[in-house]
A and B are shown apart, each in its own frame.
Chain A
Amino acid sequence: MPLWFARGLRRGVVTTRYPARPDGSAVALPTPPAFRPLLLTREIVDRMIAQCPGTALSRAADTLVFDVGSCTACGRCARVAPHAVTPSGEFELAATTRSALIKMVPILGERR
């Protein structure tokens, strides 16, 4: 056991200070997308919906309905429209109501 005790002391502290302080490892985590409304068209949104393997994306008229709770950050929607989609960088996504995870994104790009 002295072997392990000494190893532990030598190793030092690796524990995060989160949530009191930000944790640098968070930047490498995959995060749900953020959308650029001016670059979204109905056609692009419908293609993104077709590629989404789950239920995170749907469209109501000229609004992209984005269910953050259903998002797995797989990146398929970003590959459909790389200029219109960017990682949000947000991983602190916990919600006390399910509806707080449903986001409405206006589709403001030119109609084709």
Chain B
Amino acid sequence: MTAVEPRAAAGTREQLVRALTGLGSLQARDGGAVTVRIPAGALEQAAHAAAGTSGVRLADMFAADGDVTVLRLVWAYETDKPGYIITESEIEGEEYPPLSDIAPAAFVEECEIYEQFGIRPAGGKPLNRLMLPPHAGTELPTLGHEPSRPPEEVHAPYTVGGQAFEFPFGPVRQVGVESLYYGLVTSGEEVVDLYLFTWHKHRGVEWRLRGKTVSEAIFLAERAEGLSAVAVGWAFAAAAEAALGIAPAPAALRTRAVALELERLYNHAAATAALCQATGLSVGQAAAEIALERLLRVNAASFGHRYLFGVVEPGGVSRAPDADALRRELPGAYDELRRTTDALLGTNSFVDRLEACGILTAEQARRLGLVGPVARATGLATDARLAAAAGPYADHPVNVITAAGGDVFARFQVMLGETAESVRLIRQFLDEGTGADRTLVPPRASTGLGWAESSRGEVLAWVALDSGGRITRARLRPGSARNWRGFDDACRSQNVFTDIPIIEASFWLTVAGMAR
């Protein structure tokens, strides 16, 4: 089940950094992130260099406003001392090089940047609506400048003997799920195309964080995607810490890691319950929900909150876990989950529904820059916990679980392997000792990148602080914001309507993480 990507020759990361620095100038180097300033004229060449290097993936792209709009690309370097390379370029006019032609993983971000900053890739490629509702005028603030023309609606052209029709579904959907609008293109049963609109829930979190201190902002940041509160909170806190030069105490970082693995555990249990519900296996769903409830109670017993809100703080953590309660309660809760999932693996009618459903290939995952179990189920060994230069995951390396096949069953297998790994890691962190420290330093004008591996994949955060320590630009990129673009492809590969909820459960994303 475990496949490992072949490692590139040692020193390739440095070669890429040198190549990029040759096109521009090195700005900063801290922890696992290198920032290189690239003049706009050399950006296309830089993108080719990065996208063409084996083991490099475009992890995020965003802009920031100032005297001039600055465009930043975050490249994840995944072999030989994994880390991140940020290229930043000042964009003077309305256009920048057509980056999604070079790295298709940039397309959704190009749409977002156009809506928020009014700059677009050269070449006139149509951009889709993302965060702004169709009826929004000037009443919705942007992070920069409004686009000169509203975005168009362009989706994959479809023909099925002239019989296909478009079926809008949502945003209010079935019971107890988030609002989400599907544009389903179908010839009756088969999914010809599926596109999503998330603007109904767009809350403008990045806009709202401006002017706040990082201590004020973490409350909203962890609620950007509440089911990944620890991961998003950690990435955001780590971005502020990188900016200010804070190294939280090792015991505090182990506390964070315990919380992060507990978050992974309960999310995978919830995904299991959702898979059972989607396949109509009510008893399996009930059994998985019993395990999920027990895991949430373990969270409450150890950290005082069922969803682990309020644990991560900039500089450290607010409290240490109740280690005795955790050691006492977790084995039984995990056992409950394990017995349920073992029984599920032995239930043919369940497994049959998952196999060959919602297939994504490794090439699709790589091209779209997917992360988390969705990517690992195609065989890609990508995991943000590997990019730890120091800290609990450097001291206790993670066994990255991958699978082949890229279908729903492969994603389920990856999640199961990860739950066992999470329990193992929690034991190790507790044995080494957890603490409740916060390290604070005087504020200064600075920028920094932070990351964490949520249950749904890599979370990235980037902050720019002024001299008073207040946020001038906060970028939050939860795993969901990366992976929803793979959902369309997964649903399109020879699936029917009833497969859609199964595929959605196997992705286990949130709309909130996209519409933050």
Q: Which residues of A contact B (CB under 8 A)?
A: 3-5, 7-8, 11, 14, 25, 28-30, 53-54, 72, 74-75, 79
Cβ-defined contact, A7 with B343, below 8 A: yes
Cβ-defined contact, B300 with A4, below 8 A: no
Cβ-defined contact, B301 with A28, below 8 A: yes
Residues of the B chain whose Cβ atoms lie less than 8 Å from the Cβ of A29: 300, 306
Q: Which residues of B contact A (CB under 8 A)?
A: 216, 219-220, 283-284, 286-287, 290, 293, 297, 300-301, 304-306, 309-310, 318, 339, 343, 346-347
B345 to chain A, nearest CB (A): 12
Cβ-defined contact, A74 with B343, below 8 A: no
The residue of chain B having its C-beta at the shortest distance from the C-beta of A79 within the complex is: B318
A1 to chain B, nearest CB (A): 8
Cβ-defined contact, A11 with B290, below 8 A: yes
Partner of A3 from B216, B304, B346 at Cβ < 8 Å: B346
B34 to chain A, nearest CB (A): 34
Cβ-defined contact, B290 with A28, below 8 A: no
Q: Chain B binding site: helix, strand, loop or mixed by DSSP?
A: helix
Cβ-defined contact, A30 with B284, below 8 A: no
Cβ-defined contact, A4 with B310, below 8 A: no
Cβ-defined contact, B343 with A4, below 8 A: yes
Cβ-defined contact, B287 with A11, below 8 A: yes
Cβ-defined contact, A8 with B300, below 8 A: no
Give CA–CA (A96, B293) in the complex, Å. Answer: 29
B481 to chain A, nearest CB (A): 23
Residues of the A chain whose Cβ atoms lie less than 8 Å from the Cβ of B220: 53
The residue of chain B having its C-beta at the shortest distance from the C-beta of A54 within the complex is: B219
Residues of the B chain whose Cβ atoms lie less than 8 Å from the Cβ of A14: 290, 293
Cβ-defined contact, B287 with A7, below 8 A: yes
The residue of chain A having its C-beta at the shortest distance from the C-beta of B339 within the complex is: A7
Residues of the B chain whose Cβ atoms lie less than 8 Å from the Cβ of A28: 297, 300-301, 304
Residues of the B chain whose Cβ atoms lie less than 8 Å from the Cβ of A75: 304, 310, 318
A37 to chain B, nearest CB (A): 25
A-B contact pairs, 11 of them (CB 8 A): A7-B339, A7-B343, A11-B287, A25-B300, A28-B300, A53-B216, A74-B219, A74-B310, A75-B304, A75-B310, A79-B318
The residue of chain A having its C-beta at the shortest distance from the C-beta of B344 within the complex is: A4
Residues of the A chain whose Cβ atoms lie less than 8 Å from the Cβ of B318: 75, 79
Cβ-defined contact, A4 with B305, below 8 A: no
Give CA–CA (A98, B196) in the complex, Å. Answer: 36
The residue of chain A having its C-beta at the shortest distance from the C-beta of B284 within the complex is: A4
Residues of the B chain whose Cβ atoms lie less than 8 Å from the Cβ of A79: 318
